[in-house]
């Protein structure tokens, strides 16, 4: 038996390894929760930004042309609106050229 190998030293090393592994797992779990929370907040912000952009483009079109845009495609072509078509479904309901259209944005669930 080596004079440096004692049962106390071996137990101490195993305790440190177990503590390190548990600490790593705890940090990993906290990191995963933080990333998930950040992702949820980001999705809500994207929907709010899209809503503001569509409203701004509708009002801008009315101010320049004197009538509201006839379709969502018209806004995309003439006013540069871009969005993720796979993530958001936009219902654009026109009631007349002098009435502001109803816009409903629905976030599609990721598959």
Q: What is the pLDDT along the chain (111 residues), one digit of tens a residue?
A: 566 655 555 555 556 667 788 888 989 999 998 888 877 777 778 889 999 999 999 999 999 999 999 999 999 999 999 999 999 999 999 988 789 999 999 988 766
**Could you tell me if residue 18 is inside a domain?**
yes
Confidence at residue 21, expressed as pLDDT on a 0 to 100 scale: 81
Confidence at residue 16, expressed as pLDDT on a 0 to 100 scale: 66
Tokens of 91: 């219902």
Angle between helices 72-79 and 7-65 (to 10 degrees): 90
| Predicted model pTM | 0.65
**Could you tell me if residue 1 is inside a domain?**
no
The number of folded domains in the chain is 1
Burial status of residue 29 (CB atoms within 10 A of its CB: 0-12, 13-18, 19 or more): exposed
d(CA 39, CA 37): 5
Confidence at residue 55, expressed as pLDDT on a 0 to 100 scale: 95
User: Which range marks the domain in which residue 35 is found?
Assistant: 7-107
**Could you tell me if residue 103 is inside a domain?**
yes
**Could you tell me if residue 78 is inside a domain?**
yes
Helix (H, G, I), strand (E, B) or coil at 94: coil
Confidence at residue 54, expressed as pLDDT on a 0 to 100 scale: 96
Contact 73, 18 (CB under 8 A): no
């Amino acid at each position: 038996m080596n004079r440096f190998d004692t049962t106390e030293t071996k137990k101490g090393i195993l305790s440190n390894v177990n503590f390190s592994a548990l600490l790593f797992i705890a940090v990993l779990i906290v990191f995963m929760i933080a990333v998930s929370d950040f992702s949820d907040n980001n999705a809500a912000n994207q929907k709010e930004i899209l809503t503001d952009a569509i409203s701004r483009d509708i009002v801008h079109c009315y101010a320049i042309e004197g009538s509201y845009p006839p379709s969502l495609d018209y806004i995309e072509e003439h006013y540069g609106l871009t969005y993720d078509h796979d993530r958001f479904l936009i219902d654009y309901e026109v009631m007349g050229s002098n009435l502001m259209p109803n816009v409903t944005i629905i976030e599609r669930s990721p598959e």
